[in-house]
Structure 1
Amino acid sequence: MNTQRKTILGLILFVAFLIIAYIAYHTLLGNYTPNNIVESTTGSTSESSAKKAPDFTIFDVQGNQIHLSDFIGKPVVLNFWASWCPPCKSEMPHFNKAYATYKNDVVFIMVDLTDGQRETQKIGQAYVDAQGYTFPVYFDNKQSASDVYKIRSIPATYLIDVNGNIIKNYEGGIDAKTLTAGIDAIIPAK
């Protein structure tokens, strides 16, 4: 075979490879279901097996200190996010809808990880305002919360029961169904 035919054959094989890779990627992406649930307990919420949610200090939009321990006695959805994070942005509408549904039964603590450079309180608040989100936003200006929870990637969500125990946590973006199931797990039976 001459060099010109080898080159053409190589190009055809390369294009075929790209097409197959593209089809495989989109097929797998369409079948993807988040498998990012990390159970922090053995399924029981008893005091002996549940992990206490560590306390921390964050700030509201006015600069007032807020502590997780302020909400003992109420179920809490704790979410760490930033406005530059694509997975955070994709799950935010789910949190906003859940807040509208559960705001009378569950405390939502949406913690913007402000580092003062890439993410500032002004940038985070502007993003929330521009999107029309109504959930309360808090700012981790001193990295207290992210240090205590050892946040290394975002988004990260923790579901905390009325006794202050972490029932479930999720690493990475979650969908509406997963969020709703998690919230249902922390709301006390009436």
Structure 2
Amino acid sequence: MRNKVTGILVALLVVLIVGAGILYKTLGSRYAPNQLAVEATPVPAQTASPEQTAATAEAAEPTAEAVQTAPDFTAYDADGNAVKLSDYFGKPLVLNFWASWCGPCQSEMPEFQQKYEELADVQFLMVNMTTGRETKEDAQALLAQEGYTFPVLFDTDADAAMTYSVYSLPTTYFIAADGTITAWARGAIDGDTLQKGIDMIAGS
């Protein structure tokens, strides 16, 4: 009887280990680097087809017929002033959606801060998803604690979140100077992937 129980416990342990490995692989891929996508229109996951699956950073850039102007939205600066995304058109722009409770968001922020300090010709706009569980106070506390100085807007009306169908954080868009979306990524990206996106819009 004891051997039978031991056998069952061992079998359960094996199942748990295998299941944990599969779960780790699945969740880990969600935040893996090199998720840079190049396509005409960012497609929300719930409507994406296999043919719309994101290409990698090495894929060809979209044709002139396929490019899409980045949809405009209004968010608010730390003083409560309304700011439109289109106010930033005219120079290359890295647009990032984040929240203070989001671990993957925090993991990539140092890379964004470093590039923001290094690159004078590329704009950075970090839009905080200030709805639901997120508060402006929590977001500002994280920024102050880590010493981040990149521009931040607060999406208190969820206008940006709805316009860009932001259901997963972090999400990053690389927007050319003319306001067209060149590439985008869902999930945390590393410094190399961030640089790839910047290279695609730099000098535009």
Q: Shorter-normalised TM-score: what interval?
A: 0.7 to 0.9
> Offset at 1:17?
5.0
| 5+ long unaligned stretches in structure 2 | 41-59
CA spacing shift, 1:66–1:27, aligned 2, 3 Å: closer
Pairs aligned (count): 183
Q: Please tell me whether Structure 1 or Structure 2 has the larger radius of gyration of its CA atoms.
A: 1
> Offset at 1:26?
7.2
Q: Is contact 1:58–1:139 with CA below 8 Å preserved after alignment? A: yes
Q: Percent identity?
A: 42
Whole-angstrom CA distance in 2 between matches of 1:127 and 1:69: 27
Residue by residue, what CA displacement relative to the aligned partner does 1:65-101 show, whole Å, maximum 9, x if unpaired? 1111112210000000000111111111111111112
The alignment's TM-score, normalised by the length of structure 1, stands at: 0.84
Q: Is contact 1:60–1:66 with CA below 8 Å preserved after alignment? A: yes
- Number of the residue aligned with 1:10: 8
> Offset at 1:51?
0.6
Of 129, 132, 135, 1:113 maps to: 129
Alignment of 1:1-190 (within 5 A): 3-18=1-16, 33-34=32-33, 36-41=35-40, 43-44=61-62, 46=64, 48-102=65-119, 104-115=120-131, 117-188=132-203
- Number of the residue aligned with 2:44: none
Whole-angstrom CA distance in 2 between matches of 1:27 and 1:143: 32
RMSD over aligned CA atoms reads: 2.5
The alignment's TM-score, normalised by the length of structure 2, stands at: 0.79
Residue by residue, what CA displacement relative to the aligned partner does 1:37-78 show, whole Å, maximum 9, x if unpaired? 3322361363x3211001111111111111111122100000
| 5+ long unaligned stretches in structure 1 | none
Q: Is contact 1:154–1:171 with CA below 8 Å preserved after alignment? A: yes
Q: Is contact 1:112–1:124 with CA below 8 Å preserved after alignment? A: yes
